[in-house]
Chain A
Amino acid sequence: MSLIVRFMARLAWPLCLVYGLYVVLHGHLTPGGGFQGGAVMATGAALMLVSRGWSREEAESHERRMHWLETLGLAGFWLLALGGLLHGAAFFHNWPANTGGLFGGAVAPGPNAGRLWTGGTIPMMNLAVGLEVLGGLSVILHGFGRVMGEAERDAEGEKREAGDVE
């Protein structure tokens, strides 16, 4: 990877991550949501992987963390859905909506500017799905990066065996 590409990736990845988090957190107010924002965050993760020349061990530990993030996201989604059962209603019942608690603000009907602390389980589920998408796409990126790195190393090894390396 050339120096220019790596430098631009280093500039861009935090912006991608923050913008993705913005899309996820405002999923109940603006277009977008967990899946879309998670994909934007995963783009940031891809740029971060480009900007850092990680060793195999570092990449593997990061991949393991991303696997945990993915699993936690899906588990959180399940738990939030099961929360409806705990409150004496159906699976996926939106129990915190309009209660005044966390994310429980009431919304005036009709067009309005929108407030962040509304929507009940919807923003929480958006966050869970966003983390799941970020973790899942990062694991896929790590997998392809590993295979490409092995192919490169194999090609170099064959060259060295053939005596082509000066």
Chain B
Amino acid sequence: MRAWLKAFALLAVAALGWQVATGLRFGEPGSAKTDEYYLAHAQEETGANNVVTAIVFDYRGFDTLGEATVLFTAVLGTGLALRRTRKGEEGEE
């Protein structure tokens, strides 16, 4: 049963990879409407010369908020993990 599942998963991944590698044409996106809108309007709408930053912090700001939250959570987790060893050692003393 597990061997069959493994074979099926491998086949599915291979089919998806084949589709991505051959089915889509490289450098020709299906629709470039948003890209062109950003390039044409980012400077006048946001006042930022750097269009990448304009997208990251203005048009897609919500995604960046998630990114910053991920960093914050990672720091909290690291701090928690490193703090616990210290308290354990103090408890042993």
Q: Which A residues contact B (CB, under 8 angstroms)?
A: 27-31, 33-35, 67, 70, 73-74, 77-78, 81, 91-92, 94, 97-98, 103-107, 109-110, 112, 114, 118-122, 125-126, 129, 132-133, 136-137, 139-140, 143-144, 146-147, 150, 154
A97 to chain B minimum Cβ distance, whole angstroms, is 4
Contacting pair A121 B58 (CB below 8 A): yes
Contacting pair B53 A28 (CB below 8 A): yes
Write out the residue numbers on chain B whose beta carbons fall within 8 Å of the beta carbon of A28: 46-50, 53-54, 57
Q: Mark B36-61, 1 if CB is under 8 A from A, else 0.
A: 00000001111111101110111001
Contacting pair A81 B61 (CB below 8 A): yes
Which residues in window 66-85 of B have CB below 8 A to A?
67-69, 71-72, 74-75, 78-79, 82-83, 85
A114-B49, A126-B53, A132-B71 known; 6 new pairs, CB 8 Å cut-off, are A27-B57, A28-B49, A97-B46, A104-B47, A107-B47, A112-B49
Write out the residue numbers on chain A whose beta carbons fall within 8 Å of the beta carbon of B56: 33
Q: In whole angstroms, how far apart are the Cα atoms of A94 and B70 in the complex?
A: 23
Q: Which of B44, B46, B54, B75 has the most CB of A within 10 A?
A: B75
Q: Which of B50, B78, B82, B89 has the most CB of A within 10 A?
A: B50
Q: In whole angstroms, how far apart are the Cα atoms of A136 and B67 in the complex?
A: 13
Write out the residue numbers on chain A whose beta carbons fall within 8 Å of the beta carbon of B68: 73-74, 77, 129, 132
Q: In whole angstroms, how far apart are the Cα atoms of A77 and B48 in the complex?
A: 18
Q: In whole angstroms, how far apart are the Cα atoms of A94 and B44 in the complex?
A: 12
Q: In whole angstroms, how far apart are the Cα atoms of A126 and B64 in the complex?
A: 11
Contacting pair B83 A143 (CB below 8 A): yes
Q: In whole angstroms, how far apart are the Cα atoms of A52 and B8 in the complex?
A: 58
Contacting pair B82 A119 (CB below 8 A): no
Q: Which of B44, B68, B79, B85 has the most CB of A within 10 A?
A: B68
9 smallest beta-carbon distances between A and B, as pairs = A143-B82, A92-B61, A28-B48, A136-B75, A119-B48, A118-B47, A97-B47, A114-B49, A122-B57
Contacting pair B57 A121 (CB below 8 A): yes
B2 at the A/B interface (Cβ < 8 Å)?
no
B11 at the A/B interface (Cβ < 8 Å)?
no
Contacting pair B48 A31 (CB below 8 A): no
B18 at the A/B interface (Cβ < 8 Å)?
no
A82 to chain B minimum Cβ distance, whole angstroms, is 11
B56 to chain A minimum Cβ distance, whole angstroms, is 7
Contacting pair A147 B85 (CB below 8 A): yes
